[in-house]
Amino acid sequence: DAMVIQNPRYQVTQFGKPVTLSCSQTLNHNVMYWYQQKSSQAPKLLFHYYDKDFNNEADTPDNFQSRRPNTSFCFLDIRSPGLGDAAMYLCATSGQTDGNEQYFGPGTRLTVT
Amino acid sequence: QKEVEQNSGPLSVPEGAIASLNCTYSDRGSQSFFWYRQYSGKSPELIMFIYSNGDKEDGRFTAQLNKASQYVSLLIRDSQPSDSATYLCAVRSGGSQGNLIFGKGTKLSVKP
């Protein structure tokens, strides 16, 4: 089945220790998104790629970076995680349909100790 | 600032009843509207999308859109305990490549 895959599902890192989260997709969608979601809050868009074009949200901290080496893969790098970065990180994709509906992966739960 | 507003709930309905979830949005230029279901600790799952005024039905779910009132709703008929989740309303504006703006979600509880 075509899908969005995220690894790992759970990640524990230490304060200040860099961490990388990965996302892959078999949908061949050209747009990939990274969201941060904290408990009882709406998903917050961090950045997205339209093909290779990177789009950063104005309020995304510099501590967050992203790479998209090819259509299928996208990475989220957190250079120096703080306690406030503990959250669910969601990857989503969308393709060239009328409404560009987004499909989410299962998410990575990040804990910072 | 473009906003999407939802009543946070919890909305409690008995099993078999109709659950009605509501959402308003601020950007009159919004084009596409989505409902996602999110179980606790899981990622959002797309359950309905609607682009045109009126109703769109899919099984037990009906999405309703009124662009003049900037209002979109989701009806769940014959509610089941398995429908208990948070329902996120999302709105796309700024053309077909506009990003989604999410509401904070309404928590639905279906009591057996």
Q: What is the pLDDT of residues B45-104, one digit of tens each?
A: 999 999 999 999 999 999 999 999 999 999 999 999 999 999 999 998 765 457 889 999
Task: Please judge whether A42 and B88 are an interchain contact, meaning their C-beta atoms are less than 8 angstroms apart.
Answer: yes
Backbone angles phi, psi at A84, to 5 degrees: -75, -5
| The one-letter amino acid at B46 | L
Residues of B in contact with A31 (CB under 8 A): 97
Question: In A74-86, which positions are buried (b, 16+ CB within 10 angstroms) versus exposed (e)?
Answer: bbbebeebeeebb
Give the pLDDT score at B90.
96
Task: Please judge whether B92 and A99 are an interchain contact, meaning their C-beta atoms are less than 8 angstroms apart.
Answer: yes
Cα–Cα–Cα angle for A95, A96, A99, nearest 5°? 90
In chain B, how many H helices and how many E strands? 0, 11
What is the band of A98 on the pLDDT scale with cuts at 50, 70, 90? Answer: low
Task: Please judge whether A45 and B51 are an interchain contact, meaning their C-beta atoms are less than 8 angstroms apart.
Answer: no
Backbone angles phi, psi at B83, to 5 degrees: -80, -10
A-interface mutation test, from B31, B87, B91, B100, most A Cβ less than 10 A away:
B100
Q: Which residues pair with A67 in a beta bridge?
A: A75
Per-residue pLDDT reduced to its tens digit, A32-57:
999 999 998 999 999 999 999 999 98
Query: What is the Cα–Cα distance from A58 to B94, expressed in whole angstroms?
Result: 17
